[in-house]
């Protein structure tokens, strides 16, 4: 079969991450786009991949435009996040429009009509997962016959039927071969020296049905069913990943505890010396044998969705557990050498300010080392939208955040600052550092960046100016 497109360009169009500068990882590899790259690469003559967050000649707009005009006939742009949505649209509009332009990603799927209205140069929009779809586009299959796309036909936009979501096992592993440089673990804008960082997926989807979660549900009524890769495929990919720190980005690595345990046991048997972070649900506390295997395999950090210290709110969110079970879970968790990071939601429907402010105390009671707390967000297809609309005084703002009349954004901002003040005390910050070292997630070589980042992290977290003495101390220590 002849090659239709001689040179494709895949762009991650964001110049910084949405959470850059906050506590935690600042630059995530665009693994979803790299799955697309892996699928597309055999079907085009040449392929270039650009992450605009990283330094490189194509980060310059004039050079990028010239490169596209002189070389590219298929342009693929990942529109994956709501933040900087208008800026991404502006970028697309500023690029040469005489090439086939395809967009995809989570936010593209959520905002089909908006993208076609705002971006005249976009020819095709891939809805949902795009590995199979991008191959059919590259091979020149008639657009009317390609499932899961929306496309321009003259002055009209045509929406084809959804593409059934395939099994993840059929997709090639992400193509990391076109990266311009390694990704590094980052704290508050400071790279941890020598700490390369990567991500893998051993599964997609989630069998749970938390009402606030729309990550696996799109406005086209598709929910990503839970689908796993073979353990052999997972191990082969880990063997090929050069990074010393890996985030297992499954929404819950422990959905099948026996499978998770086998992966851990194979990591141990092969002597793989890497550090892992995993996303998990608390139910894994019921399998201490799996927790023990995870610790031996190099899993250091658990990212846990706690959501609320209130049984009433947990039930409202259909979380599947209550505070009694949370306390029981952490009785077991505290026996194991992991760093525990918890996620909370505040500003829930009918939640009082006093209930929101229970978060820091409850987090410390459980034994969480650090926490993230986010305002309740309701997308247009969220199961919670009906509850919001039927509860007097509540409304969804233009930013898709839920607000209570008379409390609004100022009230939620006040709550956020108070949660920060109560949880992130000097003692807690010291405890965080000690825990990161005690579980061997960090080493002595990380100390310079860690100490340099602390003033920045604190400033971002509590909205204060960076302490000049802390900066001078960092400089004196040559950090």
Distances (CA, A) of 446 to 33, 343, 477: 30, 25, 13
- Asked if 42 and 3 count as a contact pair (C-beta separation under 8 A), the reply is no
pLDDT at res. 168: 79
Torsion 192-52-251-85 (CA) sign: positive
Q: Nearest CA to 219 among 125, 135, 133, 152?
A: 125
Q: What is the mean pLDDT of residues 304-316?
A: 95
Q: Who wins on pLDDT, 478 or 45?
A: 45
Residue 308 lies in a domain: yes
How confident is the model over 306-316, as a mean pLDDT? Answer: 95
What total number of domains does the chain contain?
3
127-131, 290-294, 346-350, 359-363: least confident range: 127-131
Measure the CA–CA gap between 187 and 199, rounded to whole angstroms: 17
The CATH number of whichever domain residue 150 belongs to comes to: 3.40.50.280
Please report whether residue 378 resides in a domain: yes
Higher pLDDT, 291 or 186: 291
Task: Choose among 72, 62, 58: nearest CA to 12.
Answer: 58
Last-in-domain residue among 147, 169, 191: 169
State whether 423 and 448 are in the same domain. Answer: no
First to last CA, the chain: 56
Task: Check which CATH number belongs to the domain holding 388 and give it.
Answer: 3.80.30.20
Give pLDDT, residue 452. Answer: 61
Q: In which domain, by residue range, is 461 found?
A: 443-479
Considering Cα of 39, then 161, then 139, then 96, what sign does the dihedral take? negative
Q: Does residue 129 sit in the same domain as residue 258? A: no
> Do 187 and 448 touch, CB atoms closer than 8 A?
no
Tell me, yes or no, whether 293 and 411 share the same domain. yes
Q: Are residues 421 and 458 both part of a single domain?
A: no
pTM: 0.87
Decide: 89 and 123 in contact? Cβ < 8 Å. no
> Is pLDDT larger for residue 312 or for residue 170?
312
Domain boundary among 169, 192, 226: 169
Residue 321 lies in a domain: yes
Pair (392, 460) in one structural domain: no
Look at residue 2 and tell me if it is in a domain: no
From 151-160, 234-243, 264-273, 470-479, the region with the lowest mean pLDDT:
470-479
Residue 435 and residue 447 in one domain: no
143 plus 247 within the same structural domain: no
Q: Average the pLDDT over 292-299 and give the result.
A: 97
pLDDT in tens, 337-392: 999 999 999 999 999 999 999 999 999 999 999 999 999 988 777 778 888 989 99
Residue 191 lies in a domain: no
Query: HSE on the CB side for 399, CA within 13 Å?
Result: 9
Domain final position from 169, 192, 210 = 169
Task: Check whether residue 151 and residue 232 sit in a common domain.
Answer: no
Whether 174 maps to a domain, the answer reads no
């Amino acid at each position: 079969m002849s090659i239709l497109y001689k040179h494709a360009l895949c762009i991650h169009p964001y110049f910084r991450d949405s959470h850059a500068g906050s506590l935690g990882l600042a630059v995530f590899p665009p693994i979803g786009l790299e799955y697309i790259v892996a699928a597309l690469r055999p079907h085009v003559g040449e392929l270039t991949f650009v992450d605009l967050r990283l330094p490189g000649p194509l980060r310059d707009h004039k050079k990028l435009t010239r490169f596209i005009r002189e070389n590219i006939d298929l342009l693929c742009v990942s529109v994956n996040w709501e933040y900087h949505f208008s800026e991404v649209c502006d970028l697309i509009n500023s690029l040469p429009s005489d090439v086939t332009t395809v967009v995809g990603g989570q936010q593209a799927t959520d905002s089909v009509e908006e993208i076609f209205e705002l971006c005249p140069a976009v020819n095709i929009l891939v809805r949902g997962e795009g590995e199979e779809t991008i191959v059919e586009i590259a091979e020149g299959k008639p657009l009317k016959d390609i499932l899961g796309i929306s496309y321009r036909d003259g002055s009209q936009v045509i929406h084809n039927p959804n593409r059934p979501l395939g099994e993840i096992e059929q997709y090639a592993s992400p193509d990391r071969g076109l990266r311009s440089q390694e990704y590094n673990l980052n704290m508050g804008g400071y790279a941890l020296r020598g700490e390369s960082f990567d991500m893998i997926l051993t599964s997609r989807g989630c069998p749970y049905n938390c009402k606030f979660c729309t990550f696996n549900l799109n406005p086209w009524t598709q929910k990503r069913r839970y689908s796993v890769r073979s353990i052999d495929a997972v191990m082969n990919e880990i063997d090929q990943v050069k990074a010393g720190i890996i985030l297992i980005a499954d929404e819950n690595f422990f959905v099948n505890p026996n499978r998770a345990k086998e992966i851990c046991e194979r990591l141990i048997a092969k002597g793989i010396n890497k550090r892992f972070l995993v996303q998990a649900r608390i139910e894994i506390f019921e399998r201490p044998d799996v927790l023990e295997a995870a610790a031996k395999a190099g899993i250091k950090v658990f990212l846990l969705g706690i959501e609320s210290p209130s049984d009433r709110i947990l039930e409202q969110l259909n979380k599947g557990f209550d505070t009694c079970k949370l306390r029981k879970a952490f009785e077991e968790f505290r026996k194991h050498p992991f760093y525990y990071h918890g996620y909370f939601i505040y500003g829930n429907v009918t939640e009082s300010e006093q209930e929101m402010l229970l978060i820091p105390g409850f987090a410390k009671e459980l034994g969480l080392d650090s926490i993230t707390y986010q305002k309740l967000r309701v997308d247009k297809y969220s199961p919670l939208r009906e509850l919001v609309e039927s509860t007097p005084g509540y409304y969804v703002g233009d930013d898709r955040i839920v607000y209570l009349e008379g409390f609004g954004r100022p009230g939620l901002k006040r709550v956020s600052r108070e949660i920060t003040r109560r949880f992130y005390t000097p003692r807690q910050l010291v405890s965080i550092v000690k825990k990161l070292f005690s579980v061997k997630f960090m080493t002595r070589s990380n100390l310079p960046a860690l100490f340099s980042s602390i003033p920045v992290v604190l400033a971002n977290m509590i909205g204060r100016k960076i302490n000049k003495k802390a900066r001078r101390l960092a400089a004196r220590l040559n950090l």
